Amino acid sequence: MNLLDDLGTVLASGLRLTAPLAFAACGEYLAERAGTLNISVEAMMLGAAFSSVAVAGATGSVTTGLAAGMLTGALTGLIHGNLAHRLTIDTFVVGLVLNALVLGLTSFLIAGTTFGSRPPQRWPLLLLPGIVLLTWWLVERSRWGLELRAVGESPRAADMTGIRVGLRRRQALLWCGALAGLGGAYLAVGEVGSFNQNMTAGRGYLVIAAVIFGGWRLGRTLVGCAVFGLADALRLALPALGVTLNSQLLIAAPYLLALLAMLLFATRQRRPRALGKPFVRQEP
């Protein structure tokens, strides 16, 4: 009886910890199908977490906070997209810079402010099924998605057919930013109810790991998110259940799991062929 209760608690908390990852993974999945690998998911989530708490605190409305988070994420995506797919700066360099910038900026801003803690608001969880379905439909059924996939697999072919490769990738990054922002905002106002320094703590990287774990398929990507979310929940629950384990090891568990997933899946899966490669129209 007690065990069942505990299990239920862990599962519920696992679901709540999966949700931020799952929102962001929907975005990152779509972006990677378009061939753009952005490690700035971390920046999108962290920036959104901060701005959602700030705006929700100021307006008193969780909805406005979430919207602010999505906007912040999309803005990050816009910056990334223009740097990487208009100016063709290496996408990893852009991602690293954005991650460092947002971490520094939010740490700086939090130092001067105090956010009151607010009760968590879990209703945005209900948005998740809709977002998953919409992402699937966009990628697999819409013309936009078909063009995204073409751009991710064979940008030259797409270009010759008259598709604007850079534009599609920038659009994919906007979508990714908005959803990663929703994920980060949910983590802050939905789950925790306040903002701490570096509160996403590498969740953006877990999202990328989940997409790879999922072999660039949406369903499996979400399974990956659930695995990481449950690992996180267990980490929080085990001490309370009286199990004593090395706490550092526990904190590292989701990341170790991600590393393991990489080792097992990263090389075997069929990735979009142009993933992470900038597209520049070639001379003859």
Partner 1 sequence: MSALTLRGITKRYGAVVACEAVDLDVERGEIHGLLGENGAGKSTLMRILLGLETRDAGTILRDGRPVTAGSPREAVALGIGMVHQHFSLVEPLTVWENVILGDTGRIRRSRACAEIHEMSQRYGLPVDPLAVVASLSAGERQRVELIKCLRRDPAVLILDEPTSVLTRAESAELFAVLRRVVRSEGRAVVLISHKLTEITAATDRVTVLRRGRVVFRSATAATDVAELARQMVGREVADAAAIGLIPAAPHAPEKAQGDPALRIRGLTAPGLTGIDLEVRPGEIAGLYGAEGNGQAQLGDVLCGLVTPDAGTIEVGGIPVDLRRPGALHAAGLGIVPEDRHRAAVVPAMSVAANLTMKDLGTRVWLDRRRLRRRARELAAEFGVVAASLDAPLSSLSGGNQQRVVLARELSGDPRVLVLAQPTQGLDVGAAEDLHERLRRCAHDGMAVLLISTEIEEVLGLADRVLVIASGRVAGELRAAEATPEQLGMLVGGGAG
Chain residues in the site for partner 1 (CB under 8 A): 141-143, 146-147, 149-150, 153-154, 156-163, 270, 273, 281, 284
- Smallest gap from residue 151 Cβ to partner 1 (A): 9
CB-wise, 86 or 273, nearer to partner 1?
Answer: 273
CB-wise, 86 or 156, nearer to partner 1?
Answer: 156
- Smallest gap from residue 99 Cβ to partner 1 (A): 31
Q: How many angstroms separate the CA atoms of 29 and 215, rounded?
A: 10
- Smallest gap from residue 134 Cβ to partner 1 (A): 16
CB-wise, 35 or 77, nearer to partner 1?
Answer: 35
- Smallest gap from residue 198 Cβ to partner 1 (A): 38
Q: Compute the chain's Rg from CA coordinates.
A: 19
CB-wise, 146 or 240, nearer to partner 1?
Answer: 146
CB-wise, 86 or 260, nearer to partner 1?
Answer: 86
- Smallest gap from residue 225 Cβ to partner 1 (A): 24
Q: How many angstroms separate the CA atoms of 241 and 234, rounded?
A: 10
